Structure 1
């Protein structure tokens, strides 16, 4: 390891929001930093740290897993430490608990004095604390560039709610600060939920847009899970809107490989091996998305009606304990589809399933991580966005013609039917249109699966950390 001032070992603190869709990209980026010989303090709550994948032995000495005690909020279970542990309506209470980590984080920064603190959207109070201690500050957005651009015209507008969008209907079209044609907007059933959950003050005392605005305003730079080779126009737009250097870190494709001796993978692989090549629909809506009982029923019956083989990763989120959010499947469904379908209710090695030659399409909620995994392997998509940024992601991917959205009825809150599910699945996997979706997805795999491109972005990211820290060492402002 080099020891000169030109290549001194840095200490980077990483502090993600309490959701595994955020924690895992932060964790993967931490491993890339350690791979370059720098020290990382990965900070989260005790239970979340315990749920992390095992570190590779050669990186473990460089990554310190820092466990914080999440303050208890009486509306939450004592074990609720991530969004997968709570229902969607209670996530704002988790943000209240998260804000209670401020004293512990402050103590850590005062004691350890890292060169950088890289944080998520949630700790709006952290940039000023780190700045007062002379620590370089980076906001790492795991959301796509179009989502950040959509959120607000400027940090001050986001903080003060002055960007002229005052009702849910205002989110049904691209914002007026987009200087180019765009299809990035919400649908009616999404907009009302987004407006209520993200643009209004919640139990934590602030809105999510306020958090993002404060984080953007107080940061030295924005790191983002994106690349110029895919939808490049949003990156310079963000830089212009927020007056911040924007440093894409690449798409952070996963690198985990399932153990051939792992019983779960052995069982799943045996089933997949028995299916016809390119016909299996892989279905996964993430570990934190909870669909209603009626939506679950229509999805199941739609898969049955499609006549195609399917593998359904149907994990029950810990919070899905109510009657309306149960994972009870329609009567007789498992028996009727036994010959061509498998429903798996615990963890599955998603990347290995997607790599299997029998898989011909992915029915997904359009979380950014799932999109990256699907497109790196050239799979067309059947899109069923549920929450947050997923709808915006779906609009972009439909425009790229890598798949279709399951049609929904806006008259009754965005419901969908078994017929619409069946038609969508067949259109992507076996109908003539599917050839186009597959070809376009394969073309994008040249970007999403390009390991050399990914390495280039990671190297540039590390160089940025080193250069800006080095500037501070020589008396410059970070």
Structure 2
């Protein structure tokens, strides 16, 4: 028995997992860590103290509790960044570069940890461009876990272009045309407002494009939270752009577990008809202006459909979002609309039978959750990769996009009402609703996804670094 245990210990990998400081990154990285630990491997999950407290708790009696160790690294102080800001949820969008600056200062404590613990693999995010070369120097294998679609990564381009200043895309307009290396017909480009609205000085010192380039170039494998069944043409192109020396492995969609039922929310949803409710949630990073909030509210009212709208106060805002809603709006929609202020159990809400559609900012996590439960998408991209995700979903017939002014992103209440109704009830939207139901299994079926999960863990096991060498 003792010999068996020794053999098991010898076969056991030790992985260091290090996500970017955003809940939309921490949660999938933690999910991935649990999958790895379920196969008997040890995981050191590293982040800042406050972020580690925000993670779902592992029951102390679970076998995972002995295999996953949470390792806190205090976030170094950076001028103009609030002391309690440890994630992108804690700061307005324009301060995220300062968060990256603080994140980059974790290089030294990370080096100390890697040297003292000598792991087999480090699984890292796009933002820590300094980590892959550091790990390589210490003989640790490197896996870049990419939380973006293959389509999005293909648009960003090959590492050789992104590093060493070869990328000629410097103006907003450069990102509104289809990249020349995309060899097939495609509309995979940003709209002007999706880029211009959020262009700001790069206070972190390292552009995101360079971070992406190094994350890919210096990896031993790129793990993608997607599948070839969903975007085969983009996986094929990505492998050409990265060259055959960098394996690109889909890990599936990591379907989330449904959380506990929240009483107040449950009672309201239980009273609604099946597939009748539009769930509206625009993520935690983008902020609607007063004008945008007004048009969205009045559009939802004008649609005549039941809705559940999650709103939160933006970080560092002096005005509560509840005060920004149109006069009398809450009273007028009281019988068919619920406006929920603060955090809401999104996965549970999307799993509810009464929810038929999801008006989303097109963050990849949210789209995976919506499609995994067969909800038609009403696409309203705000920033980062969301515009490209909207093009991808629209192109595959999984949603309808609310039309907006290409230059400033403005939209009307009438457009909101029209496209919400198109997605939910109009005859012209029937094909989209049917297509979403057909593809639900690719995103939400655990057995289908577990095959890809097993394949990537096998890759890590078979390609461990040779410690003796």
Query: What is the TM-score when the length of structure 1 is the normalising length?
Result: 0.93
Equivalent of 1:387, from 383, 388, 401? Answer: 383
Q: Give the Cα–Cα distance (whole angstroms) in 2 for the partners of residues 245 and 26 of structure 1.
A: 19
Query: In the alignment, which of 444, 452, 457 is matched to residue 449 of structure 1?
Result: 444
Determine if contact 2:223/2:248 at 8 Å carries over to the other structure. Answer: yes
The range that moved more, 276-285 or 27-36, is 276-285
Kept after mapping to 2: 8 A contact 1:292/1:325: no
Matched, 1:293 2:290: yes
Separation in 1, partners of 2:223, 2:100? 22
Other-structure match for 1:53:
56
- Alpha-carbon offset, residue 161 of structure 1: 3.2
Residues 250 and 457 in structure 1, CA contact (< 8 A), matched pair in contact too: yes
Q: Give the CA deviation at 1:64.
A: 0.3
Superposed CA deviations along residues 244-263 of structure 1, whole A, max 9, x for unmatched, are: 111111111101331x4xxx
After the TM superposition, list the runs of 4 or more consecutive aligned residues in structure 1 that deviate by more than 2 angstroms.
1-7, 163-167, 191-194, 322-328, 471-475
Native 8 Å contact 2:313 2:320 kept in 1: no
Deviation of the 1:347 alpha carbon: 2.0
Structure 2 residues without counterparts, runs of 5 or longer: none
Aligned in 2, Cα 1:301/1:134: closer, same or farther, shift over 3 Å?
same
1:126 matched to which residue of 2? 131
Partner SS, residue 281 of structure 1: strand
What are the equivalent positions in structure 2 for 1:214-225 lying under 5 Å apart?
214-225=214-225
Q: Aligned partners of 1:279, 1:157: CA distance in 2, in Å?
A: 47
CA contact (8 A) 2:176 2:190 kept: yes
Counterpart secondary structure, 2:264: helix
**Distance in 2 (alpha carbons) for counterparts of 1:50 and 1:391:** 31
Determine the structure 2 residue equivalent to 1:429: 424
Say if 1:189 and 1:414, in contact at 8 Å, map to a contact too: yes
Other-structure match for 1:274: 271
Partner of 1:396: 392
Cα deviation code 1:392-443 (max 9, x no counterpart): 00001111122211110125x1111111111111111111122211101001
Q: What SS class does the counterpart of residue 472 from structure 1 fall into?
A: coil
Paired residues in the alignment total 462
Distance in 2, matches of 1:128 and 1:306, equals 53
Pick from 20, 23, 37 the counterpart of residue 20 of structure 1: 23
Counterpart-to-counterpart distance in 2, 1:182 and 1:321: 39
Q: CA deviation at 1:474?
A: 6.9
Following TM superposition, by how much is the alpha carbon of 1:357 offset from its aligned partner in structure 2, in angstroms? 1.6
**1:206 alignment partner in structure 2:** 206
Deviation at 1:188, TM superposition (A): 1.5
Shift of the alpha carbon at 1:322? 4.3
Instruction: Give the distance between the partners of 2:320 and 2:313, measured in 1 at CA.
Output: 13
Q: Which position in structure 2 is the counterpart of 1:372?
A: 368
Cα distance in 2 between the residues matched to 1:350 and 1:79 = 25
Instruction: Sort the Cα spacing of 1:301 and 1:145 in 2 relative to 1 into closer, same or farther, 3 A.
Output: same
Q: Does the Cα contact within 8 Å between 1:295 and 1:415 map onto a contact in 2?
A: yes
Rounded to whole Å, the distance in 1 between the matches of 2:176 and 2:378 is 22
Contact 2:400 2:423 in 1 (8 A): yes
Deviation at 1:193, TM superposition (A): 4.0
Structure 1 residues 408-427: aligned runs within 5 Å: 408-411=404-407, 413-427=408-422
Q: How much does 1:5 deviate?
A: 7.6
Task: Please state how far the C-alpha of 1:237 moved relative to its aligned partner.
Answer: 1.9
Q: Using a 3 Å threshold, how does the CA distance of structure 1 residues 393 and 96 change in structure 2: closer, same or farther? A: same
Structure 1 residue aligned with 2:466: 472
- The answer on 1:168 being equivalent to 2:168 is no
Are 2:299 and 1:302 equivalent residues in the alignment? Answer: yes
Q: Check the 8 A contact 1:291/1:325 in 2, yes or no.
A: no
Q: Deviations over 1:363-390 (max 9, x none)?
A: 0001111111111111111111001100
Give the CA deviation at 1:2. Answer: 6.6
Deviation at 1:164, TM superposition (A): 3.5
- Deviation string, structure 1 residues 269-301 (Cα, Å, up to 9, x no partner): 111111122211100111222221211111111
Give the aligned partner of residue 227 of structure 1.
227
C-alpha contact 1:293 1:327 (8 A) present in aligned 2: no
> What is the alpha-carbon distance in structure 2 between the residues aligned to residue 324 and residue 93 of structure 1?
25
Per the TM alignment, residue 73 of structure 1 is displaced from its structure 2 partner at its CA by 1.1
Displacement after TM superposition at 1:472 (Å):
2.2
SS where residue 324 of structure 2 aligns?
coil
Deviation larger for 367-376 or 212-221: 212-221
* TM-score between both structures, scaled by the size of structure 2: 0.95
